[in-house]
A = this chain, B = another copy of it.
Amino acid sequence: MKAGVFDSGIGGLTVVKSLLKAKLLEEIIYYGDTARVPYGTKDKSTIISYSLEALEFFKNFDLDILIIACNSVSAYALNEIRENIDIPVVGVIESGIMAVENSISTKDSNILVLGTKATISSNLYNNGLLKNGFKNITSIATPLFVPLVEEGIFEGAILDETMKLYFKDIQNIDVVILGCTHFPLIENKISKYLNSAKTIHSGDAIVKFLLQEYDLKINNNYDTKITFFATSSPDSLKEVAHKWLNI
């Protein structure tokens, strides 16, 4: 099984980490559009146009499946991507919603969705959760978490003050959806700030989704081969991959 993983930049490495740990794939082609990151502040037509350019790149490889690690792309360009390639394309939003279904038993739970401006304004998490019977959903765009994580700020006063700003009206949260690939890097801090709320991590969610919906099998013998491509500063991407993934 050979998968493409598409992300706007380095954040998608948190999804790769889950994929590697799960031993589901023989090979991963990772493409990060580091020249044009972040996508989460851009408008829909720009995100679609950049995503279709990435798709042309992926067509050079004989992929079995394409995984869209970026929530903003999953929110705005999934249909357009699917219309333009003949392999299964999996986004992180549908898998995130399935993960909420699997992790909480009552439809009355208080769910908090965090994401970029693009992801939140698409309302896809919100609508998907409502459709599944959840009633108490709060969505907030937390765009500053992205540059903080990119600058390696995973703790400390700046992050604390940023959470204080974003979460000032938030209370009694049971489950928080980390609707951006950068957020798992501050997962513990977010959960702790929200009184140990349960977290939904796009990478773990997509692994479960692949196992359930695409009949992929865990193979403990897999030593997944991974190749990284970036549209700018490929060495930085490799350096971060080395640090985050221990490869």
Contacts and interface: CB of A to CB of B under 8 A. Distances in A.
A1 interface: no
Contacts of A146: 147
A103 B177 CA distance: 52
Interface string A146-190: 111011010011101110110000000000000000000000000
Contact of A36 (B35, B162, B164): B35
Most chain-B Cβ atoms within 10 A of its Cβ — which of A143, A147, A231, A233?
Answer: A147
Nearest to A37: B41
Contacts of A43: 232-233
| Chain A interface residue bracket vs B | 20 to 34
A42 B233 contact: yes
A151 B144 contact: yes
Contacts of A45: 232
Contact of A147 (B147, B161, B233): B147
Nearest to A162: B158
A158 B151 contact: no
Contact of A148 (B46, B144, B156, B164): B144
Number of copies: 2
A114 to B, nearest CB: 15
A165 B165 CA distance: 19
Contact of A46 (B153, B158, B162, B232): B232
Interface string A30-51: 0000111000011101100000
Given A46-B232, A161-B161, 17 more contacts: A34-B42, A35-B42, A36-B36, A42-B232, A43-B233, A46-B231, A143-B147, A144-B148, A144-B158, A156-B161, A156-B165, A157-B161, A157-B164, A157-B165, A158-B158, A158-B165, A160-B161
22 contacts: A35-B42, A36-B36, A41-B150, A43-B232, A43-B233, A46-B231, A46-B233, A143-B147, A143-B151, A144-B147, A144-B148, A144-B153, A146-B147, A147-B147, A156-B161, A156-B165, A157-B161, A157-B164, A157-B165, A158-B162, A158-B165, A161-B161
